[in-house]
A = this chain, B = another copy of it.
Amino acid sequence: MEADNLKQLLENVKNGSTSIDEAVIKLKSQPFEDLGFAKIDYHRKLRNGYPEVIYCQGKTVDQIKAIVERLMLRENNIMATRAGSEVYEAIKTITQDAVYYEAARIVVVKRRDIKATEKVIAVITAGTSDIPVAEEAAVTAETLGNKVDRLYDVGVAGIHRLFANMEPIMKANVLIVVAGMEGALASVVSGLVDKPVIAVPTSVGYGANFGGLAALLTMLNSCASGIGVVNIDNGFGAGYLASSINQM
């Protein structure tokens, strides 16, 4: 089922000419392809308005290759996350369109143009070590059709670095704050703006950081309102959620 048809179907649901139940059945008619080890879900991009995403961690290179090959047949854009260079090498043997964002550990295969919204997502890090997670968020948001403004290494220990960057912070429509160690940056940023803030704790740190738990708890307990938290090191999830907000 193509995107236009889907839109039509959902409109019919809204105006009552199609019942929910009928719609569910139609949606289910050819929703995925079964490779045995994976059910490739072609609907997901349509329902969610985004390219196909492959989460590579825990999949073998052969499994990833097989999934990419099938997806290629549909001429969709593909984004492979948590992809080591060996994944990139493998995808390159299938298509020359693969681009590797090394810091972000993301491979993008671009087969259609991505039309970006003018509204900006700011991706802010507390430190230099948080950049890989921030890049995962930023490349995800860009691939999903958003403009991204990067502000790295502006943690609260030297808060004037943050204040010297108030202009891009104030201009952003959605903000992603990426911070390890104690993760206090999310609270400070959220107190300064009245836009949604997506907080990403990172596992950067040591000792009683407990693999990102400290930053995670900090962000969940923020005294500032308006913060949604994603999993530790989950740059992709932050970029995806920010994009879904930014494109409303």
Q: Could you tell me which A residues sit within 8 Å of B by CB distance?
A: 10, 13-14, 20-21, 24-25, 27-28, 31-32, 36-39, 41, 43-44, 47-50, 53, 57-59, 63, 126-129, 131, 152-161, 163-164, 166-167, 170-171, 173, 180-184, 187-188, 190-196, 198, 201, 203-234, 236-237, 240-241, 244-245, 248
Contacts and interface: CB of A to CB of B under 8 A. Distances in A.
A208 B181 contact: no
Given A32-B161, A228-B230, 14 more contacts: A27-B160, A31-B160, A39-B152, A39-B153, A39-B161, A44-B158, A57-B206, A58-B129, A184-B187, A207-B212, A207-B233, A209-B217, A209-B231, A220-B230
A36 B152 contact: yes
A176 to B, nearest CB: 11
Contacts of A198: 228
29 contacts: A24-B166, A28-B164, A31-B160, A31-B161, A32-B161, A32-B164, A37-B153, A39-B153, A48-B194, A48-B226, A57-B129, A58-B204, A59-B128, A126-B223, A156-B184, A181-B222, A182-B218, A182-B219, A184-B222, A184-B223, A195-B244, A208-B221, A208-B232, A209-B231, A214-B218, A220-B231, A228-B230, A228-B241, A248-B248
